[in-house]
Amino acid sequence: MAGQFRYTVWDPWMIISQILTLQCVFYVSLGLWLSLFDLVSGNDKSLDQVFKYQELQFSSFNGKIVVASFVFTALNCSLGLWYVVQRTKLCLDFACTVYLLHLIACIYYNGSFPTTFSWWLINLVSTMILCVTGEFLCMRTELQSIPVNMAPKTDL
């Protein structure tokens, strides 16, 4: 198509593979951060730290470790978003999809809808961190590819 900046084709298999890749990056990163913080602090490793609503709390030391893991995971996932998606305008969609799928996994694991305020707050803040840092990285990359030369033209 002539006159368009970027030609895009609807490719559902590519979108599904990007979603699955980002979800894997999310859980691997979260698992690594939790393992690292549990190793340093001497806490027991548990799958509850990833999926249980009550684990995300600010009142206990273990809860603060899980909260820190979620924040660092959002930063790591923004690198994955930058590498996999590479489009600024798609970052919000993919960031929300990652945390929506995490919500579905948490509902399945717990058998109920999350009711704790801290769980919603941490996941909302993590979504914002993922989206904003991913957009920042993608925008820098998109703007790099536009050459701007302010020197006077010499090849007349």
What are the residue ranges spanned by the domains of the chain? 21-142
DSSP 45: P
Q: Are 76 and 62 in contact (CB under 8 A)?
A: no
Token output for 136: 């920042």
**pLDDT digits over 87-121, tens only?**
889 999 999 999 999 999 999 999 999 999 999 99
**pLDDT digits over 7-54, tens only?**
567 788 999 999 999 999 999 999 999 999 999 988 888 888 999 988
Amino acid at 150: M
pLDDT category at 154 given cuts 50, 70, 90 is: low
Give the mean model confidence (pLDDT) for residues 51-64.
Answer: 89
pLDDT category at 1 given cuts 50, 70, 90 is: very low
